Chain A
């Protein structure tokens, strides 16, 4: 965190200068008030304004979070909870279906993230160029982000149906043979889902990249062109390094989204065929459906730990890279 402040310091210093100058006066006022007996109520007074928000936050976020950590260690039927120590976690990590879902989650999270970075960057570079219908194309790229994941999932389920879907009808028209079972062949179903997720999410990555690229001062491009740099050279030495903050944002956002992805997968394949596209989130949901409330809560704790263990160091690393620029 401190490193990110350092990186912003040059730009931020004139603004920061103001409160620093003002602080001696404010501190003096405070010390005068401290002598009076009513100082605590004066200081506490604004605290009361926090209470409504605090009650909601504690009741709806803090209490359930702490409760969920407790219930993760129990066998819970909603009617009663039996403390069983780490058994839920052992079961979650020992069962092939559950541990397999962890692998799927990682494949899904990392490949959607990588593809969104690459395709998002490529689209953004194209869409920041003075091309025809640029505004329209930008909108079209972004539209899938606005559609609900369930709607996208159900639509693709129809489009990708092995025998009646439009995609395979085109396939048959071109190649003459039956097309692959995009969502029913266990070997490719997960990759089909990754493709759908990228189609749906790449618009957001593109938007972030467009913002990142347009923020690069024009002088760099002009100077480079004067020095005779070609498009590829400009991309390599100017756009790629200077849009790095956008890259790290896209990586973090899409990775978190990918690791906890559920709605799209559930609407499209329901984790099937069999267990071929089960991810941690869908397994958790199924445990909950089955009434294994303790086990599903343990799964949530594991998901929380997995996401944190991957995203936190990655974020630190990305931020440190930003600083060295």
Chain B
């Protein structure tokens, strides 16, 4: 494969021309009194800015002659492009927050970031997180926030009223659904007005895939395993099964994530497959929501496989462009982030949504029910990482395809096959061997 390093040169030319024409530029100023000022670029979600600001304040107060200043950027795919463009044009902040796992791998960390492999604080990180920020044997980041889980949120009152037990197999889940539907409540909430929410049945099924075939993720990366085949196709089939049984809320095609959470809290819908970062969002909807909403893992075929699919928090990384005193200062900040002190600062600033990935960190006493449910899975070691932390492959069209399968536009088999094609582009783009 011939590879010309012409891209950066051309991009640089275009940017230089742009700068010359518009006269804009960026510059990080050092404080005049000898303190070093570092900028930290984070996404502008309320949760992330609160977290980052709390950490910056906590670190600045620890008085090491370094001041962290928060800058924000767009979220989602728009944010991905901002980060990639800033890295490609050497215009990145001194430190930046970004997803761990496959998305970090797509940033070409070897070419754009400074590894922290040899630093002493790396040993404070939990192994699962370290894996998610490691590329070709080099560690690049420290965690900001907590681990997340993808599973099925449920309304405990509805479950109690109908005398239901938490399902540990898919058959039990479908049996519960039948009972809930008979009671006149929508068993499964789906919200395709926010298309990303449609992916959960597929993504949260990954614990079951790993249990069925522990080497699946590696085979998938090597182009040897496909979503169109067992065991991975199950996720698509489960989505189709729920649609065909008529278990969804009738306005599933246009409802939004926040409407879905409202249904769950109100009890007009009983269960909602979702990621745990929504916990603070629904906790605000009613006084008893934090207590009344629980979380169970997406069940599979076998009782023995029952476990939670876990997501790692985002990381903080140092771009290649941060050098000299600033690099030393940036590493000092990272080393502080990987301490219990940093976790305590986060605990005080907001209600955490899952366990920390720094050794020695603890959750406060009064967390929402669902957070305790997640913690239990981690304590019991009944978790497996989501696919995006085990393989760099994530096709961009998954959410559109799951909308199609979940709305009955295509079958699970066709959807899974189409997703395999979608992933092909990503694999070629990343230059993986075997594709």
Establish whether residues B88 and A63, one from each chain, have CB atoms under 8 Å apart when the complex forms: no
Q: A56-B21, A95-B421 are in contact. Are A162 and B253 (CB under 8 A)?
A: yes
Residue numbers in B under 8 Å from A288 (CB-CB): 81
Contact of A273 among B6, B7, B403, B425 (CB under 8 A): B403
What's the interface size class on B, roughly? 35 or more
Kindly identify which residue among B7, B254, B409, B426 contacts A161, using a CB–CB cutoff of 8 Å: B254
A81-B254 contact given A273-B403, A290-B77, A295-B425, CB 8 Å threshold: no
CB of A275 within 8 A of CB of B5, answer no
Interface residues of A in 153-186 (CB under 8 A from B): 161-164, 181, 183-186
Q: How far is the CA of A270 from the CA of B403 in the complex (A)?
A: 12
Contact of A78 with B by CB under 8 A: yes
Q: Does A221 contact B (CB under 8 A)?
A: no
The answer to whether B78 has its CB under 8 Å from any CB of chain A is: yes
Please state if B253 and A184 are interface contacts (CB–CB under 8 Å). yes
Whether A274 lies near B84 (C-beta < 8 A) is no
Closest to B255 in A: A163
Question: Of all chain A residues, which has the CB nearest B6?
Answer: A81
Can you name the residue of chain B whose Cβ is closest to the Cβ of A78?
A: B88
* A211 proximal to B (CB < 8 A): no
In the assembled complex, A34 has its CB within 8 A of some CB on chain B: no
B163 at the interface (CB under 8 A from A): no
Cross-chain contact A79 with B410 (CB below 8 angstroms): no
Decide if B425 touches A272 in the complex (CB within 8 Å).
no
Does A83 touch B at the CB level, under 8 Å? yes
Distance of A63 Cα from B14 Cα, bound (Å): 9
Supposing A59-B17, A83-B4, A290-B77 touch, asked if A78 and B84 sit within 8 A by C-beta, the answer is yes
| Chain B residue at minimum C-beta to C-beta distance from A81 | B7
Set of chain B residues within 8 Å of A162, measured between Cβ atoms: 251, 253-254
The reply to whether A80 and B4 contact each other, CB–CB distance below 8 Å, is yes
B76 — nearest CB in chain A belongs to which residue? A289
- Docked Cα-Cα span, A79 to B78, in Å, equals 18
Would A82 and B3 be within 8 Å (CB), given that A274-B403, A275-B400, A292-B425 are in contact?
yes
Contact digits for A287-325, partner B, Cβ 8 Å, 1 yes 0 no: 111111001000000000000000000000000000000
Instruction: Flag if A270 contacts B195 (CB, 8 Å).
Output: yes
**Residue contact A181 to B396, C-beta cutoff 8 Å:** no
Contact yes or no, B254 A82, CB < 8 A: no
Judge if A276 is at the interface, Cβ distance under 8 Å.
Answer: yes
- Assess the A80–B8 pair: CB atoms within 8 A: yes
Are B400 and A271 in contact (CB-based, < 8 A)? yes
| B390-424 CB contacts (< 8 Å) to partner A | 396-397, 400-401, 403-404, 407, 409-410, 418, 421-422
| B27 at the binding interface (Cβ < 8 Å) | no
Quick one: closest A residue to B13, CB to CB?
A: A63
Pairwise interchain contact B403-A80, C-beta atoms closer than 8 A: no
Q: Which residue of B lies closest to A278 (CB)?
A: B400
From 46 to 62 in chain B, residues with beta carbon under 8 angstroms from any chain A beta carbon are none
Contact A291 B253 (CB under 8 A): no
- Asked if B85 CB lies within 8 Å of chain A CBs, one says yes
- B7 and A163 contacting across the interface, CB-CB below 8 Å: no
Stretch at the interface among B65-73, B106-114, B202-210, B270-278: B106-114
Q: How far apart are the CA atoms of A56 and B111 in the complex, in Å?
A: 32
B80 contacts the other chain (CB 8 A): yes
Bitwise, A116-142 to B at CB < 8 A (1) or not (0) is: 000000000000000000000000000
Q: Are A274 and B410 in contact (CB under 8 A)?
A: yes
- Cα A52 to Cα B431 in complex, Å, equals 42
Nearest B residue (CB) for A290: B396
B425 nearest in chain A by CB position: A292
Q: Which residues B312-354 have CB closer than 8 A to chain A?
A: none
In the assembled complex, A91 has its CB within 8 A of some CB on chain B: yes
In Å, the complex CA distance between A25 and B134 comes to 79
Residues in A178-198 with C-beta less than 8 Å from chain B: 181, 183-186
Task: Collect the chain A residues with CB atoms within 8 Å of residue B8's CB.
Answer: 79-80
In the bound complex, CA of A96 to CA of B429 (Å): 19
**Are A291 and B14 in contact, with the CB atoms below 8 A?**
no
In the assembled complex, B359 has its CB within 8 A of some CB on chain A? no
Docked Cα-Cα span, A34 to B250, in Å, equals: 83
> Residue A67 at the B interface, CB < 8 A?
yes
Q: Do residues B400 and A77 form an inter-chain contact, with CB atoms below 8 A?
A: no
Interface flags for B9-48 (1: CB within 8 Å of A; 0: not) read 0110110010001000000000000000000000000000
A97 contacts B by Cβ under 8 Å? yes
User: Does A286 sit within 8 A of B, measured CB to CB?
Assistant: yes
Contacts of A272 in B (CB 8 A): 192, 195, 400, 403
Contact across chains for B192 and A273 when beta carbons are under 8 A apart:
yes
A260 within 8 A of B: no
- Please state if B3 and A80 are interface contacts (CB–CB under 8 Å): yes
CA distance A56 to B80 in the complex (A): 29
* Beta-carbon nearest neighbor of B111 in chain A: A79
A96 to B78, CA, bound (A): 25
19 pairs across A/B with beta carbons < 8 Å?
Answer: A75-B428, A75-B429, A77-B7, A78-B85, A79-B108, A80-B3, A80-B8, A82-B4, A83-B2, A97-B422, A162-B253, A270-B195, A272-B195, A272-B403, A273-B253, A291-B84, A291-B429, A292-B425, A295-B425
> What residues of chain B have their CB less than 8 Å away from a CB belonging to chain A?
1-8, 10-11, 13-14, 17, 21, 77-78, 80-81, 84-85, 87-88, 106, 108, 111-112, 192, 195, 250-251, 253-254, 396-397, 400-401, 403-404, 407, 409-410, 418, 421-422, 425-426, 428-429, 431
